[in-house]
Structure 1
Amino acid sequence: MSVSADSTLSEAIEHIRQIGHRAETIYYLYVLDQQRHLVGVISMRDLILSPSDELIKNVMYDQIVSVYTDTDQEEVARVIQNYDLLAVPVLTKDKKMRGIVTFDDVMDVLEEEATEDLISFAGVPKSSAEGEELSVFKTAIKRTPWIILLIFMGMLVGGLIGVFEDTLQSVLALSVFIPMIIGTGGNVGTQALAVTVRDINLKAGSKEKIGDTVKKEFGSGLIIGLISGIILFVTLIILQTNFYLSLVVSLAIFLTICFSSVVGAMVPLILNKLNIDPAVASGPFISTIIDAIGLLIYFIIATSLLDYL
């Protein structure tokens, strides 16, 4: 609802009584000039508590938080969230008011975006997040390219194991710890990915905040890796595992966790710079990349200490 800056508060209240039933919500009164340019806003609280003979222009706020008609819906949601607003006015480029976006509208947007990101994290096509009804054939066609890509990436990981076949045949016990190495790296990388994608979505163009996220993930990776490596080493020694084998596995876990944290944070940042949805670089892709890194670290350490195993 809108009023003139030269109206009194009592006139504004009477205006609300006459046409308020047509409005979906009444959180604020927006003050417009004769050309429908937005010049101020007054909350219902100020309208009720201020003297009835006071002019609107003496009570209104002229420092207005607003969005434009071409503003992305996620950005609109962030504006309402950051400024704790119940509604935000929508303007054209020449500052003419076209409508409002309410808190209820934002909740719908956030639910939609959260669903879309969750589906994307699983490597599922976007249409599934949008609730589009697809036939069995179309569903298979949309998902098959991603699965084929992951199969070829998995073949590369398998080829990596083949490169270190001699090492693996020399010490068969090394194969026992492969699932633990790649599983731990995948878990850490996926966690770092989730945190980074969240910060990308919540940031308001702040490069410093994203830089802090990378530093935090790297630091936490170092701490988690160190603690995990020490606990694993002590556990393997207690279980009477070969000292050097215990050392190899523990060092591999430490370095894998460190690298997984960095990769999980950096990959979505790189994709975001390339204007590619960072949610695409989620679970399956991050896990496959980290599997390769973890195995490479594991076998390089094992090969370097092979004479002691």
Structure 2
Amino acid sequence: MKTATSKAESGETRRFDAYQAVTDTILKKLEEGTVPWRCPWDRKVGRPRNFASNREYQGINVMLLGVKRFASPYWLTMRQANDLGGQVRKGERGTLIVKYGRHERRTKGKEEEETKAVYYLRGYTVFNALQIDGVEFPEMELPEPQANEGRIESAERIVQEMPGKPDIHEGRTVRACYRVSTDTIEMPARSRFIDAESYHLVLFHEIIHSTGHERRLNRNSLMGATGAVMTEYSKEELVAEMGSAFLGMEAGIVQDEHEQSAAYLQCWLDTLREPNRKRWIVEAASLAAKAANHVLAIE
């Protein structure tokens, strides 16, 4: 099993399975009654980002950092904090994040050397701005979402500006779904939803599904989810759940983490505990980020 190296708060290097570490973190939150991909941030805090590079974290790292509920979006490694003239406060515990990458490995073939891509997942420990002394962090001011007659303008804009979006029909059914065969989304009437936030998050869920169509991202978890490989569709549902949350974040919509049914929680606990699925969380988060970026026309 491929392992990765991470530095603990003490500075000691340890060997661990990064995929398992991430999965264990998510399972722990599910066991506590929190669905981390539903509410991994606060609209008043903003998306977590590295203060040194000013780059926003992507994929699974959004959840790993968001569930910590710090009131600042800024994070640094211990080395970055030291380089900026600061220091991590004594006794503070860091948070695991991961980096997914690849490198080329040369191997000897029958006749000549061959190059093979090797993928890895590496773990890092970061600390929030509120755990660091000696560094001046700015405060972020984020606009509040605007609601108007059951519509949220920021969410409406995301849908309207999606490049090559599928046809969206409303009110023809009482069940939301995306149909691959016709590349269409069916949505119940808005009056059937308890609020505008719920409507848009469900629509985002179906829109994320649509990004898997062969003329968009051609995602195997959607296009290959038939017959003997229906387990792929379980991963596709996880992609849609996470992707919907990512788009919700962009629109300023945050779903209450406590409004989760016991059956929903148990379903994901059972699914993610199954053998050979410890990579699902990381892989699904990566696919969800790509899907959300496609909707937002971000390269």
TM over 0.5: no
Structure with the bigger percentage of strand: 2
Structure with the bigger percentage of helix: 1
TM-score (norm 2): 0.24
Q: Which has the larger radius of gyration?
A: 1
| Higher RCO, 1 vs 2 (CA within 8 Å, ≥6 residues apart) | 2
TM-score (norm 1): 0.24
